[in-house]
Amino acid sequence: MENKENRTAGESTGKTSQKSDGQEQEQEQEQEEQEQEQEQGEYEYEYENDNDNENEYENEYVNQPSSNRQHDSVLAGSSDSLSPVKSTKLGITSSAAAAATAADTADDATGVGSQPSFKQLIARFHHIVKDNNREASPDYDARGPTQDQDYEESEAEGEEEPSTELLVFNNGLSTLKNKYQSTINTLQVKVHENTATINSLNNQIGDYRSKIENLHLTVQQSQLDAQALADKNDIMQDELTILQSKIAKLDKQLVLEKTKKSKLSAQITQLSELLETVFKGYESMHATVSDLRQENTDLHQSVSQYETRIAAFDDTLKSELESLAQELYIQYAEKHEAKIAKLRAAYESKYAKKQATFRDRFQLLQDQQETLKQELTHVKNRLQVETSEKRQLVKLWDEYVALDKKDVDEMSNFVKRLK
């Protein structure tokens, strides 16, 4: 758009304006070149950071045990088969991974295979993240075929016997791995496609720049073709703006893909931490269960011993109780008859004494009743006297109150007269 405005201004002002337009176009080209150099520097910086992260993952992978690396190589082979870009870089390692996967499938068909431990499953997650960030690393293809053979032999020695709990756990973990591995592979394909389109667009921009420089040379050589070259330059500038807008969109998409990738890596780390906690809880529970089983066996043994002792003791106790019951029955019968005779004589004398005392008390109560009746009549007489006295007092009080009211009325009349 700026070139169009400069061209219209050049047509109005003549030859001097055309020279100024050429200078402005050269300045704009220099600015665009500087911006592209800055963008390339940023991409190189990001690429170096990715290489550093990949080297860190490789160091972690080297420090892992051989059994972990074996299963990680199998996972790498399965992920390489999904990624078209990565399959061109693997070389010897991809063939080793394919051989490992074929061996695992053969073991699954026959029912015999190696079962990874829980730490090996966690190492698989780390290796998936490493494979995602290791695609552009030059150190990936440095391993030779002899190293791969030694690597597979060392991994074959670390195989363990499978268990049902770990098989179920491994199946759940493989489903999670496949779920997130598919998304990671699709994101990798998109990133490679975007980088390829960006490189092609950068090449096109370089071609267009060379064309613009040739057009500027032709403008300086001949002023007769200035109008045609200006039209061509406008067309090229329009195409350049379109390409720049496309590049900006692709840059935004690339940033979004990177954010998605970072989120997925964070989710993978969270899952790995969760699996570690679950494994620790499983180990503690397994230890407690084994202890409880041992205690249960000991208790069963002790219970069986005590049951035998109790059975023997019950037999002896029954015989002793039977003999004791017979002896007690005989003794109790004799004593019971003697006690009944004694109790009968004692109760007869006791009830005779109680009957005499009861008669004495009854006579005394009758005397008390007579005295109370006399006191009651005396109290009634006093009550009648007091009620009559009370009535007289009330009557006198009423008369006194009436006299006070009359005195008050007389005093009020006297005061009025004085006024």
Better pLDDT: 15 or 27 = 27
User: Which residues, other chains included, contact 192 with Cβ-Cβ below 8 Å and sequence gap of 6+?
Assistant: 85, 135
pLDDT band at 363 (very low <50, low <70, confident <90, very high): confident
Structure confidence at residue 20 as a pLDDT band (50, 70, 90)? low
Mean pLDDT over each residue of the chain, to the nearest integer: 67
The average pLDDT across 266-292 equals: 80
Question: Which range (11-15, 75-79, 307-311) has the least confidence?
Answer: 75-79
Break the chain into its structural domains and give their ranges: 2-289
Q: How confident is the model at residue 60 (pLDDT cuts 50, 70, 90)?
A: very low
- Spatial neighbors of 278 by CB under 8 A, at least 6 apart, are none
SS (H, E, C) the chain: CHHHHHHHHHHHHCHHHHHHHHHHHHHHHHHHHHHHHHHHHHHHHHHHHHHHHHHHHHHHHHHCCHHHHHHHHHHHHHHHHHCCCCHHHHCHHHHHHHHHHHHHHHHHHHCCCCCCCHHHHHHHHHHHHHHHHCCCCCCHHHCCHHHHHHHHHHHHHCCCCCCHHHHHHHHHHHHHHHHHHHHHHHHHHHHHHHHHHHHHHHHHHHHHHHHHHHHHHHHHHCCCCHHHHHHHHHHHHHHHHHHHHHHHHHHHHHHHHHHHHHHHHHHHHHHHHHHHHHHHHHHHHHHHHHHHHHHHHHHHHHHHHHHHHHHHHHHHHHHHHHHHHHHHHHHHHHHHHHHHHHHHHHHHHHHHHHHHHHHHHHHHHHHHHHHHHHHHHHHHHHHHHHHHHHHHHHHHHHHHHHHHHHHHHHHHHHHHHHC
143-155: average pLDDT: 47
List the structure tokens of 120. Answer: 């090996």
Angstrom distances, CA of residue 300 to CA of 46, 296, 305, 306, 309 = 68, 6, 9, 10, 14
- C-alpha–C-alpha distance, residues 240 and 257, integer Å: 25
Q: Quick one: pLDDT at residue 418?
A: 54
Stretch 305-316: mean pLDDT: 77
Which pLDDT belongs to residue 300?
Answer: 77
> Quick check: 388 pLDDT over 70?
yes
Residue of 244 and 149 predicted with greater confidence: 244
- Residue 184, pLDDT score: 80
What per-residue confidence (pLDDT) applies to 38?
65
- What six digits make up the tokens of 166? 């770990």
To 10 degrees, what angle do helices 164-221 and 15-63 make? 160
Residue 19 pLDDT: 47
- At residue 86, the pLDDT reads 36
Give the pLDDT score at 410. Answer: 61
Greater confidence (16 vs 336) lies with: 336
User: For the segment 168-215, what is each residue's pLDDT rounded down to a tens digit?
Assistant: 777 877 877 777 788 888 888 888 898 888 898 988 888 888 888 887
Using alpha carbons, list the distances in angstroms from residue 353 to 62, 147, 321, 362. Answer: 113, 121, 45, 14
Q: Which residue has the higher pLDDT, 192 or 80?
A: 192
Mean pLDDT in residue range 58-77: 42
Per-residue model confidence (pLDDT) at position 4: 47
pTM recorded for the entire structure: 0.20
Higher-pLDDT residue of 19 and 26 is 26
Mean pLDDT confidence for 211-233:
78
**Cβ proximity of 151 and 66 under 8 Å:** yes
- Please give the pLDDT value at position 262: 87
- Name every residue whose Cβ is closer than 8 Å to that of residue 257 and which is 6 or more positions away in sequence: 187, 190, 191, 194
Structure tokens at 15: 């030859």
Percent of the chain with pLDDT over 70: 58
Q: Does 371 have pLDDT greater than 60?
A: yes
Lowest-pLDDT range of 18-32, 149-163, 202-216: 149-163
pLDDT band of residue 341 (cuts 50, 70, 90) is confident
Name which residue leads in pLDDT, 151 or 232: 232
Rounded to whole angstroms, the Cα distance separating 262 from 325 reads: 89
Give the model's confidence band at 364: pLDDT under 50 very low, under 70 low, under 90 confident, else very high: confident
